[in-house]
């Protein structure tokens, strides 16, 4: 069974993405990184001599302004709120034809 305290929710709100991460951890034990267009969230929860480690990775369909990403942790409900401003249209894409070599 999935523990809801470790789930991620993703929303699109006008000009930004909003990620809500339900994490039962001290803010000092939460690591948020933006690497090569991917959001990485890791958290450690220490209790009774045991450590629970959670890792989540996400990609986004539109370009993100990586310099304007913010993260805030709310102690009252154990929710990490990450805002990722959208910086433009969808990344360019194309279909690559696969040839046959002989």
pLDDT at 39: 93
Give the domain ranges of the chain. Answer: 4-85
Q: Is the dihedral of CA 50, 23, 34, 96 positive or negative?
A: positive
CATH number of 4-85: 2.60.40.790
Residue 66 above 70 pLDDT? yes
The residue with greater pLDDT, 35 or 96, is 35
Q: What is the pLDDT of residues 16-47, one digit of tens each?
A: 999 998 888 888 889 999 998 899 999 888 88
What is the pTM assigned to this prediction? 0.77
DSSP, collapsed to helix, strand or coil, labels residue 81 as strand
d(CA 41, CA 84): 13
pLDDT at 1: 34
The share of the chain scoring above pLDDT 70, in percent, equals: 88
Q: Share the mean pLDDT of the chain.
A: 84
Residue 82 above 90 pLDDT? yes
């Amino acid at each position: 069974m999935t523990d809801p305290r470790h789930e991620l929710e993703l929303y699109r709100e006008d000009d930004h993405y909003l990620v809500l991460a339900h994490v039962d951890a001290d803010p000092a034990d939460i690591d948020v990184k933006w690497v090569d267009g991917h959001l990485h969230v890791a958290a450690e929860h220490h209790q009774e001599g045991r450590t629970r480690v959670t890792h989540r990775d996400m990609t986004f369909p539109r370009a993100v302004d990586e310099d304007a990403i913010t993260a805030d942790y709310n102690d009252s409900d154990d929710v990490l709120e990450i805002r990722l401003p959208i910086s433009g249209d969808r990344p360019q894409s194309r279909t690559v034809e696969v040839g046959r070599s002989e």
